[in-house]
Chains A and B, each alone.
Chain A
Amino acid sequence: MFAFLVRRLLSLIPVLALVLVIVFSLVRLIPGDPAVTLLGPGATDTQIAALRAQLNLDEPALLQLWHYVAGLAQGDMGVSLKSGQPVLDEVLLRLPATLEISIAAVLVAILVGTPIGVLSATRANSGFDHGVRILSLTGVSMPAFLLALLLQLVFATWLGWLPVSGRMSSYLFVDNVTGFALIDAWLSGEPGAVSSVLLHMILPVTVLAAFLAATLGRFVRATMLETLGEDYVRTARAKGLSRREVIYGHALRTSLLPAITVVGLKFAEMLGGAILTETIFSWPGIGRFMFEAIRNRDYPVIQGATLVFALLFMLTSLLVDVLYAVLDPRVRRKMK
């Protein structure tokens, strides 16, 4: 296991280097340089040239790459061209917001998707199953922005139960301590802060969870059906175990194993931020930040954020593999 982990962690380095070179070249292939974009249509060439010099964009690309890698080696990811703040600080500032809804969405998806999948499988082809299949197909195929808009209209505008957007009421003032609104609200002790944050989380979490819950439900249904047809399940039944014991004691555990991979990879994907969901709900996460950076041609931010995403993605998938090994003795044996 230890050797496996070391091998996997070492293999991250060449992958990250490759990601860096690709992103570094790609951002410079997008037409238009940051100085032009930042200054807008009214700027003169003199103003643009002065800004380019200030941002060191007048250096040859290879030299810029060399400086960037030299900086990285010292843990310096450069500064944002737009804000002038260190890229790592900017990324870490927004990561908690994305983590907050991603974790909540994964939990909701597991709590909703798994039981639905199990019920669907155990009642395959019943009315319930058909209904769930239609709903989950809708969940998988409905674009996030459409669902988001619908939810805003119904729950915020028509019913007035939930806020339209943001992380908490504008009238509340909570200091940013951890970056997690829920924790900060609780720490602040301001009356109504925690419930305000919870209310603001419901819609974006629902949108993020809808897709995952639907995917998970369909996946669990399929694996469960497969497992229920296995010989050992028939044996268990033949031994006279109750239907409940067979389903929850034997079949469910086996069917849930592959679901871990699905949930883990989807979670890793979510850490890269959901641009549309974050934009529509004015959620200050990492996806929106990256989108703005690309629009502004903020090279250091695009490079730095991509490296962080790549690292997070690879670490999460490594974690999934480890978890798999912990839960499945067959896999554990193979790793040795």
Chain B
Amino acid sequence: MKLTRRLFGVVSGAALAMGTVPFAAQVAQAQESSTLVIAVPSDPAGLEPGINKAEPIGSEIILNVFDTLVAWQAPDFAELEGRLATEWSVSEDGMTFDFTLRDGVVFHDGTPFNAEAVKFSIERTVEMNPYVEASLGLIESIETPSETEVVFTLSRPYPAFLSILAQPQSAIVSPTAVGELGDDFATNPVGTGPFKFRAYQADTRVVLDANADYYRGAPKLERLIYTIIPEASTRRLELENGGVDIIQQAGQLSAVPSEEMAAFAENDDIQILESPSQIIRQLEFNNSLTDGPFTDVRVRRAIAMAIDYDGLLSGVFDGTAERVYGPLTSNSWAFDPEVMDLAPSYDPEAAKALLAEAGVDPSDLTVKLYSFQGSLWGAVATFVQANLADIGVNVEIAQTEFPSYRALHVAGEWEMALDGRQPWYNDPDAHVTIGYLSALKNSAMTFRMPENAELDAKILEAQGEADMEKRKTLYGEIQKEIVEQVPGAYLFSPKLIVFARSNVEGLVVNSAPPLNEYWSVSKN
């Protein structure tokens, strides 16, 4: 009896003793004010630019460890600025890109950055990464006339090339480190960026240390930690407790963060940073069908007019998403404001009249609405279902697990489907070509546009037009033509939302794509 009582005493005594040590005291000595802790939901898929496939967490870390030749300029992300390149020129035919490189930049391993390193890095990515076959794969040759000049020649005009050069796949790696480390480079990346790679502990964290010799000036932070917290409720508690400084919503687009928004809005210790994105979520019609009601543009328009877009934004998204009117978001440099007037707007009575005009009795119309899984998509599908019920159309919702959904969608076995696109580089081409070029209709989840020689030609022309003004005009015409055909109903564009402790300063939420740089960030 005494033995067990003693045991109890020891156990509970130990628990109490440990419990009364304030947790904060444990970390008092650490450099809290110069370390920024970012919570992300999963491991980076890799820290190696050569094999990056636009996975958001790895991509963002790459952009903080490496530099690209050019980058999109904050806060509008409509113009490019030089990074490792100081200036560049594009030949009139749009096929030759001539870059002058920054002098005196060194890699984290102390070796010098030069034209050879650029050639080495880009050729390496082309060789290693099938993901960039259609973009960097257009490079025919890379010349290095001097240490500070590099000339790319493409096999055909491709103006989005500059935008691709701003992406993590085009980050410049240290050729010496690649040669020395071999396969281990993937876990010990060496670049020229504001932060040096320090350690990666799988499922736990990635640690980056400041690069004091960074050519734009040393970062304000001494250390950057990406800590991996898979559970949303845990991330929230950690932010509220101050265990992490930032929660990123990027890559977490399957749930609506409105509950967290409401809780954090009343918390003085937490700030909410928002930025519009170029992500589009839409209801698609299968535009390749040859019979059925949806081959009639009046029926498609009626469906699009039955949806209460503003109600969706306020009711389901609580201000965390914005309106979309056509194939491009309104923050794209190629957006044409005229599509706002052309886009179908919410008018159930007119929708009913249109259906009658098309000779369709809505009570005969039962349609399956396919969707991704997840609470966000479920809420959107249910909202659309209720809207369409108001004009008498009966909708059955079929939420399908992603791989199966993709197979079904690409095979074209559907009439109406919820879909979306998150462009992985900042160019209208990333939405328009893949979504609407009829030749690509079976190659991915697209609007399955029917053959249309004129529109197809225009899309290809815009993709290759070197003159930016002409290119913008072309994209304007394309947007208007597409919107008039009502290939779908453009539902919403989710905002990029970052929750941060209120002492975090200087963070710019990058929109296209949503990869943030921490060089300018500090903690007070």
- Chain A residues in contact with chain B, CB under 8 A? 31-33, 36-47, 50-51, 54, 82-85, 90, 93-94, 97, 108, 111-112, 115, 118-119, 149, 152-153, 155-157, 160-167, 169-173, 175-176, 191-192, 195-196, 198-199, 202, 244, 248, 279-282, 284-285, 288-289, 292, 297
Give complex CA distance A166, B201 in Å.
12
Quote the shortest CB–CB distance from B426 to chain A (angstroms): 14
Which of B8, B11, B24, B421 is A42 in contact with, Cβ under 8 Å?
A: B421
The answer to the question of B363 belonging to the interface, with a C-beta cut-off of 8 Å to chain A, is no
The answer to the question of B7 belonging to the interface, with a C-beta cut-off of 8 Å to chain A, is yes
Which of B26, B130, B225, B237 is A54 in contact with, Cβ under 8 Å?
A: B130
> Do A161 and B422 form a contact, CB below 8 Å, given A43-B444, A119-B4?
no
Give complex CA distance A288, B27 in Å.
27
Chain A contacts for B164, CB-based, 8 A: none
Quote the shortest CB–CB distance from A12 to chain B (angstroms): 29
Interface-forming stretch among B90-98, B111-119, B169-177, B240-248?
A: B240-248
Contact B230 A288 (CB under 8 A): yes
Chain A contacts for B11, CB-based, 8 A: 108, 111-112
Contact A32 B403 (CB under 8 A): yes
Contact B228 A282 (CB under 8 A): yes
Chain B contacts for A167, CB-based, 8 A: 204
Contact B19 A161 (CB under 8 A): yes
Contact B133 A165 (CB under 8 A): no
Give complex CA distance A156, B241 in Å.
8
Interface-forming stretch among B30-38, B65-73, B337-345?
A: B30-38
Give complex CA distance A173, B8 in Å.
35
0/1 interface trace, chain B 31-59, chain A, CB 8 Å (1 if under): 11001010000110110000101110000
Chain A contacts for B198, CB-based, 8 A: 173
Which of A46, A97, A173, A175 is B443 in contact with, Cβ under 8 Å?
A: A46
Shortest Cβ distance from A284 into B: residue: B203
Query: Considering residues B26, B29, B202, B424, which has the most beta carbons from chain A within 10 angstroms of its beta carbon?
Result: B26
User: Which residues of chain B in 231-284 are interfacial with respect to chain A, using CB atoms and an 8 Å cutoff?
Assistant: 231, 233-234, 237-238, 240-241, 243-244
Chain B contacts for A112, CB-based, 8 A: 11
The answer to the question of B453 belonging to the interface, with a C-beta cut-off of 8 Å to chain A, is no
Chain B contacts for A84, CB-based, 8 A: 46, 51, 186
The answer to the question of B229 belonging to the interface, with a C-beta cut-off of 8 Å to chain A, is yes
Give complex CA distance A84, B58 in Å.
14
Chain B contacts for A97, CB-based, 8 A: 203
Contact A41 B403 (CB under 8 A): no
Chain A contacts for B51, CB-based, 8 A: 84
0/1 interface trace, chain B 1-38, chain A, CB 8 Å (1 if under): 10110011001000100111111101101111001010
Quote the shortest CB–CB distance from B513 to chain A (angstroms): 11
The answer to the question of B434 belonging to the interface, with a C-beta cut-off of 8 Å to chain A, is yes
Contact B403 A198 (CB under 8 A): no
Shortest Cβ distance from A171 into B: residue: B30
Interface residues on B, range: 35 or more
> Do A149 and B133 form a contact, CB below 8 Å, given A41-B406, A171-B30, A288-B203?
no
> Do A164 and B234 form a contact, CB below 8 Å, given A170-B37, A171-B31, A192-B27?
yes
Chain A contacts for B46, CB-based, 8 A: 83-84
Chain B contacts for A115, CB-based, 8 A: 4, 7-8
Give complex CA distance A163, B27 in Å.
11
The answer to the question of B214 belonging to the interface, with a C-beta cut-off of 8 Å to chain A, is no
Quote the shortest CB–CB distance from A243 to chain B (angstroms): 9
- Chain B residues in contact with chain A, CB under 8 A? 1, 3-4, 7-8, 11, 15, 18-24, 26-27, 29-32, 35, 37, 42-43, 45-46, 51, 53-55, 130-131, 133-134, 186-187, 198-199, 201-205, 207, 225, 227-231, 233-234, 237-238, 240-241, 243-244, 372, 401-404, 406-407, 410, 419-424, 434, 440, 442-445
Contact B203 A156 (CB under 8 A): no
Give complex CA distance A90, B187 in Å.
13
> Do A45 and B238 form a contact, CB below 8 Å, given A160-B23, A161-B22?
no
Give complex CA distance A41, B181 in Å.
33
Chain A contacts for B225, CB-based, 8 A: 170
Contact A172 B30 (CB under 8 A): yes
Which of A32, A41, A198 is B420 in contact with, Cβ under 8 Å?
A: A41
Give complex CA distance A214, B45 in Å.
40
Chain B contacts for A41, CB-based, 8 A: 372, 402, 406, 419-421, 445
Contact A37 B7 (CB under 8 A): no
Shortest Cβ distance from A82 into B: residue: B45
Task: Known pairs A161-B23, A170-B244, A284-B204; list 16 more (Cβ under 8 Å).
Answer: A36-B403, A41-B372, A47-B53, A83-B45, A84-B46, A84-B186, A94-B202, A156-B237, A160-B241, A163-B241, A165-B238, A166-B204, A280-B234, A284-B202, A284-B203, A289-B203
The 4 closest A-B pairs by CB, nearest first: A32-B403, A50-B130, A171-B30, A284-B203
Chain B contacts for A50, CB-based, 8 A: 130-131, 133
Contact B19 A36 (CB under 8 A): no
Contact B7 A170 (CB under 8 A): no
Give complex CA distance A90, B22 in Å.
35
